[in-house]
Chains A and B, each alone.
Chain A
């Protein structure tokens, strides 16, 4: 392995740069076109049922946010912990994080145009005769809702852009150390801002869909999904890059093993948080808390709830447990795709029952809104992500501890 050669570079240029004639170079434009096309079709269809459209749109954006917010979390937490193992996969997470400002900005049209269609609390006439909503009005009102949306999007954009700039600028810097110091020094600030903005973002955009209901653990529930989704996306991307001949001998079975462990642990964490939320509400049995689960427990929604329990926890828990499965790219790739699909189901399960409940609909019919918004959001996310992959080195070349990461081994 070149990593043992102390005199040459740690990684060869062609291992970590995507060649100009590679099909990867065409992806940003292709995904961009697909994404813009998907969103245009979605918005063109919007008139037929605006509330359902915004519901599907929110599902897709929250799924994109789970992956990209996970990217930001991955980067800042590795800096804060001064982790060595993750340096060779950090750039993948940084490129996902680069897509965060775009995906987060997609939230703004909804906040300004779709609030009345989705959020019951945004109707003053409804709030007037409702003591619970009246009490929540100082927080849940449109003015504050708009301002908070700008704060979340602004914070995420600032941190994502700053960390991406610092890390990519380090690749060509004469003196690499100050960049590492800067990224580490800012990491705790970023983590605290991230934790607060993610929690309140999940309250605003997911929990307040049903404004009478509340759960203090809700932000952490969303966060658990973010982390397993980003670990799955990173591992899947590396497996695809390996197939094209990149990062071979740079990202090894040892790093796959660690990413698999992260997927596994946050699958368990998701189950733990999801059950804790359900358990307390079930046990106390207070009507204004239980009804959120009650209408997810009827008709097709009950089926989806059970599918979610098995697809998001039980099956991956048993499936990713083995060391062999985590270290084999084929089996790991299967579970990466599985986790990403399950994460989408989770967002669907969080967002869409609210509207179905107000309309008294107990069946689930995936429609064109669901497809086009997912294609739109996914396309834009992947366009920015693959732009980052194809236009910068695939690993932080001048990170002072790159060699440690290349030689990383699990016990």
Chain B
């Protein structure tokens, strides 16, 4: 069977967070869109150096949270006034203070689902295969090295010019990664 030789993109390796930070600013200013930085720990301010827009996860959480709270309230309202209208401790059917704990908890529950699964969805997780792991060097991203990957599908991607750009950012090494 013939081996596929499609290119995923270029991978540049850096030895320090500061070098990565400056390199990200250059890649950002060059106008690339399909690229990412990989670090073993969070680097403060890297999102600014990369020009990332704020995440939309908070909005997903807000919508999910309010939906959960609203549905939680309606569930109790419907069951206590329509489905099983029972008088409990001489209180009205629609005893809304009693509905608050469950309303609150369902708001939290769906809000957390929104946070976790929204984050998974945006990051397209879980992924059983990722091309970057075709590079043996890349494994050090979770240990002591810092990487930038620029994908071949980026409109600005050009094997020669992109490689030159990355080399000019002071990368310790630049390599092509197979898809």
Contact = CB atoms under 8 A, between A and B. Distances in A.
Contacts of A323: 54, 58
Nearest to B45: A409
Interface of B: 42, 44-45, 54, 58, 62, 89-90, 97-98, 100-101
5 contacts: A278-B97, A279-B98, A279-B100, A279-B101, A283-B97
A409 B44 contact: yes
Interface of A: 275, 278-279, 282-283, 285, 321, 323, 409, 411
Contacts of B58: 323
Contact of A283 (B54, B62, B89): B89
Nearest to A321: B62
Contacts of A321: 62
Contacts of A275: 100
A396 B90 CA distance: 59
Contacts of B89: 283, 285
A411 B42 contact: yes
B97 A282 contact: yes
A279 B44 contact: no
A279 B54 CA distance: 39
A323 B89 CA distance: 43
Nearest to A408: B44
A347 B32 CA distance: 56
Contacts of A409: 44-45
A283 B98 CA distance: 8
B13 to A, nearest CB: 25
B114 to A, nearest CB: 14
Contacts of B101: 279
Given A323-B54, A409-B44, A411-B42, 15 more contacts: A275-B100, A278-B97, A279-B97, A279-B98, A279-B100, A279-B101, A282-B97, A283-B89, A283-B97, A283-B98, A285-B89, A285-B90, A321-B62, A323-B58, A409-B45
A275 B99 CA distance: 12
A247 B58 CA distance: 31
A279 to B, nearest CB: 6
Contacts of A285: 89-90
A321 B59 CA distance: 11
A264 to B, nearest CB: 13
